[in-house]
A and B are shown apart, each in its own frame.
Chain A
Amino acid sequence: MWSKEVIWMIVEGIGDTLYMTLVSTLCGYILGLPMGITLAVTDKNGIKPNAVVYKILDVIANVIRSIPFLILLILLIPFTIFLVGKSYGSTGTIVPLTVAAAPFIARMVESSLNEVDKGVIEAAQSMGAGTFTIIWRVMLVEARTSILVGATIAIGTVLGYSAMAGIVGGGGLGDIAIRYGYYRWQADIMLATVILLVVLVQIFQTIGMRLSNKLDKRKL
């Protein structure tokens, strides 16, 4: 049963899972980071309150986050085909993963930035710093460890979502678990993939927390 082909397939699955998770999280941050910053800045207690902009982003984030990922995956098929040419495989999964991750990431970035001491922001304002300077040199710097912890959580979540993509032939460890473990009743392969998923999440979590602790100058 543990033939060369199966082992090779699992190795490939790990690669696919990593590819989907990391690329989707990265794309998620490309969309989610500016969105989270805008949410924090335009909040009524932010440095440039703007009720209209805040409400629009707020609604977008809430709507996407309330759609179950499996449904979102199917809903987005036309959009995915339009963007990358196909709706299956690892690359096809990245699009819905990114769409699902971005608002989640935006919320985490928003909450990280809201934790930044208002006094420090006021000090920067008293020195004549503009909005952009405050975002770039105060908020993002002071919140960086919290943002990194958020990224660790985001990777774990996206990894979990990527396994779900197996249902529509998304590739990766989740795909293997569903095809062999669920459709073919091969419990050992399923167990192996589950263990690998656990190990992957564990690794990301450890790296993320270590890095963030190391960067945090409040804990010396």
Chain B
Amino acid sequence: MAGIIEVQNLTKIFSTKDAEVEALQGINLSIQAGEIYGIIGMSGAGKSTLVRCLNFLERPTEGTVKIEDKDLGAMTEKELRKQRSEIAMIFQHFNLLMQKNVLDNICFPLVIAGMDKKEARKRAEGLLDIVGMKEKAKAYPSQLSGGQKQRVAIARALAGNPKILLCDEATSALDPQTTQAILALLKDINKQYGITIVIITHEMAVVREVCSHVAIISGGHLVEQGRVFDIFSHPQTKAAKELILKGDNETELNLEDHQRDLMRGKSCIRIVFSVNSSFEPVIANMVLKFGQPVNIMKADTMNVEGIARGEMILQLPEGEELQEQLKEYLRERGLAVEEVDGYVE
């Protein structure tokens, strides 16, 4: 099925005076209507460039971007501007007009679209209610906290009845609690208005929290994509493993350096299981059955696609044959089992 956003073979090259930098290379992406799609990568991976190619703030060097089957590259400047008004965007630094109050900021896209000022104000007030900022209508951005500014920015983004909302590191300047609140708001908006949301981030926690699908960008290439749970439990590439294990949020599986040293060269495995399905004490039973102790290095539970998941890192006893048997035992019980060597290299 053709998605609401179809990216084909997208390449972006920035030419500077003395060098050409390939920011993106051969990206293929298909995002279905109504999804919350995460694009994750380390800083400098090219994800911000990618999101700007989705509304042609950056023109791709090669390849096509289609929104609802319409090719952005074939549009005139005027058509493109009209199309952009249907693709809203929010930013890391909010980018509100500092000299305008909250209400006028939200009216801004409506005024650009030529709506009557009175009507625009009325609509803006309704939007303020949705994002829970009604009492701040007359305040100026400098009087608001980061989370409040992002709420205003979200209201502004919704003003033009967009079909797509692009979020460029929208929670990266916010503290963990505020991040949660903003993510909950985005989820809510996705559910209530069916707006397709594309979330650019460097935090796995953000993707886990709200996204259904994710694409991993590394060095300008799209290295892995799929359902968040699949990638979370079976990361294929080094980039994916790094993002999952390293993390930079406290809820992420943070491995201390000494833990990494311990794991290096040892037979450690990472297992992921659904908390709901873990009535059976799998690890304990395994230890009893094989009569061999395992060392639990780290255990945590977290939300993935809205479902609680458990994650554990186990150090297995010596002996290759025994290790294989243990892994087989765990797999038979429906757990995702991964070698950890790849993570700690």
Contacts and interface: CB of A to CB of B under 8 A. Distances in A.
Category for how many chain B residues contact A: 20 to 34
Interface in B192-234: none
Interface stretch (A51-59, A75-83, A137-145): A137-145
29 contacts: A117-B98, A119-B91, A119-B93, A120-B96, A120-B98, A122-B95, A123-B91, A123-B95, A125-B84, A127-B84, A127-B88, A127-B109, A127-B112, A128-B80, A128-B81, A128-B82, A128-B109, A137-B108, A137-B111, A138-B97, A141-B99, A144-B99, A145-B99, A217-B99, A217-B141, A217-B142, A218-B140, A218-B142, A220-B140
B151 to A, nearest CB: 15
Contacts of B55: 126
B81 A129 contact: yes
A68 interface: no
Contact of A128 (B84, B140, B141): B84
A141 B81 contact: no
B95 A120 contact: yes
B260 interface: no
B160 interface: yes
A21 B95 CA distance: 38
A84 B113 CA distance: 45
B238 to A, nearest CB: 33
Contact of A137 (B98, B112, B141): B112
Question: Which 8 residue pairs across A and B have the least CB separation, nearest first?
Answer: A128-B85, A123-B95, A128-B84, A119-B95, A128-B81, A126-B89, A127-B109, A217-B140
A125 B57 contact: yes
Interface residues on A, range: 20 to 34
A220 B144 CA distance: 11
Given A126-B57, A127-B85, A129-B81, A220 B143 contact: yes
Interface centre among B84, B98, B109 (most CB of A within 10 A): B98
Interface string B108-119: 110111000000
Given A125-B57, A126-B57, 4 more contacts: A122-B95, A127-B84, A127-B88, A137-B108
Given A127-B84, A129-B112, A217 B89 contact: no
B218 to A, nearest CB: 25
Q: Which of A123, A125, A217 counts the most B-chain CB atoms under 10 A from its CB? A: A123
Interface in B116-153: 140-143
A133 interface: yes
B87 interface: yes
A119 B93 CA distance: 8
Nearest to B98: A218
Contact of B97 (A120, A126, A216, A219): A120
A123 B97 CA distance: 10
B101 interface: yes
B298 interface: no
Nearest to A131: B77
Contacts of B95: 117, 119-120, 122-123
Interface string A98-138: 00000000000000000001011011111111100100011
A217 B101 contact: yes
A142 B99 contact: yes
A120 B80 CA distance: 19
